[in-house]
Amino acid sequence: MLMVYLRGLLLLLCLAGLSTPAFSVAVDTPLDDPRQEARARAIHKQLRCLVCQNQSIEDSNASLARDLRILVRERIAAGDSDDAAIGYIVERYGDWVLLRPPIKAGTLVLWAAPAVFLILAIILIAVWYRRRNGPASKPVASLSAEEQVRLKDLLDRGDQP
């Protein structure tokens, strides 16, 4: 009886081993070479999905994203360098597909903007800080004789109960 039970358990375990986790999307076939696959995956993460726009093709379920993933794998398997594989896609879809825009004349403003704003902010804060502390550090004109008399008068009065 125990043997039957154990045999059943063994069969169950074998079947569990055979099954693969179910995915809601069609699963890509990875490349055989794990290093090539890793390179392809790294490229997938850099390419923007054209349909969903704010996802990489790695994250997207769109059918075009899947086609592009397969295409990148093919280029890598064919011996393309990373740059060549990315260039292949850029040739067709333009710089727009790059999640990280390239530095060129047209994107200079984009790349320089954070640095420019940072420097601008530092200058503004410095100016503001100097102005705020400036007058205090300057020697204040001393009171005139008339003012001193009035001040003394006020202080004296304040002392009285």
CA pair distance 68, 52, nearest whole angstrom: 14
Contacts of 24 (CB under 8 A, 6+ apart): 61
113 binds other proteins (CB under 8 A): no
Asked if 150 touches other proteins (CB under 8 A), the answer is: no
What tokens appear for 99 in the block? 């999640």
CB of 67 to other proteins, least distance (A): 5
Take residue 36 and report the two structure tokens written for it: 């090539």
The C-alpha atoms of residue 120 and residue 126 are separated, in whole angstroms, by: 10
Tell me: does residue 98 bind other proteins (CB under 8 A). no
Nearer to other proteins by Cβ, of 20 and 29: the residue is: 29
**Residues 41-80: x/- map of binding to other proteins (CB under 8 A)?**
---------xx-x---------xx--xx--x---------
Q: Decide whether 13 or 128 has the Cβ nearer to other proteins.
A: 128
Query: Which residue lies nearer to other proteins by CB, 4 or 141?
Result: 141
Applying CB under 8 A, does 91 fall inside the site for other proteins?
Answer: yes
Separation between Cα atoms, residue 61 and residue 99, nearest integer Å: 17
Q: Output the six-digit token pair for 47.
A: 């390419």
Phi, psi (rounded to 5 degrees) for 56: -80, 165
Q: Applying CB under 8 A, what is the total number of residues that bind other proteins?
A: 15
The binding site for other proteins (CB under 8 A) comprises 50-51, 53, 63-64, 67-68, 71, 90-96
